[in-house]
Amino acid sequence: MTSFLIFLAIVAAFFMYAVGIYNSLVNLRNRVKNAFAQIDVQLTRRHDLIPNLIEAVKGYMKHERETLEAVINARNSAVSNLDAAKQDPSNAAAIKKLGASEGALGSALGRLFALSESYPDLKANQNMMQFQEELSSTENKIAFSRQAFNDGVLTYNNKAENFPNNVIAGMFRFELASFLEIESEEKREVPQVSFT
């Protein structure tokens, strides 16, 4: 009888330990989803600002149709990929697509702002200056939200990959999450240094 009670106590302790691991994985996965919701707010704000920006520059940049269309197409792609990532923020493929489309949008906006330098009236336009300021502020908020999301992903992935948690994670199909990396072409370029 005593050995049976000891066996029962061991099984109960193991069960409680497994439940604890499962619950902590659920909590961390939910933190990843919450962190993504913060990114969603900022990216949505960025996406909503872009049509107004395009309207503000259209009159000035009549000959830059290709650049304007590139921004519009990049925005539409980013909105579509954001909607897909909202469905499951721990889906690595959706997050990677979102990062790539946001990087392309950032590059297209960079080209638009670089071209706007060629139009002095546009550069001095109050609406244009306001949109640039709002986008800049939103970019900073996106960076902070992305950092919080990536921290949540790191904590979740570490918990899911450590032994014995990986056994429970595998049994209940806790997939690893992916970091949101928004790369821009400008960051990859090597800066030119000249001492002349």
> In sequence order, which ranges of 59-91 are alpha helices (DSSP H)?
65-87
pLDDT of residue 168: 92
C-alpha angle with apex 35: 30 to 41, nearest 5 degrees? 125
What does the pLDDT read at residue 48?
A: 92
Q: Taking the CA of residue 9 as centre, how many other CA atoms within 13 Å lie in the half-sphere pointing to its CB?
A: 6
Whether 67 contacts 115, CB under 8 Å: yes
Q: Mean pLDDT across the chain, nearest whole number?
A: 86
Can you list the domains of the chain with their CATH numbers?
33-182 (1.20.1440.20)
Cβ-defined contacts of 151-155 (< 8 Å, 24+): 151/35, 152/28, 152/31, 152/32, 152/34, 152/35, 153/32, 153/35, 153/177, 153/178, 153/179, 153/180, 154/179, 155/28, 155/31
Give pTM, 2 decimals. Answer: 0.79
pLDDT digits (tens, 9 = 90+) for 93-120: 999 999 999 999 999 998 888 888 877 7
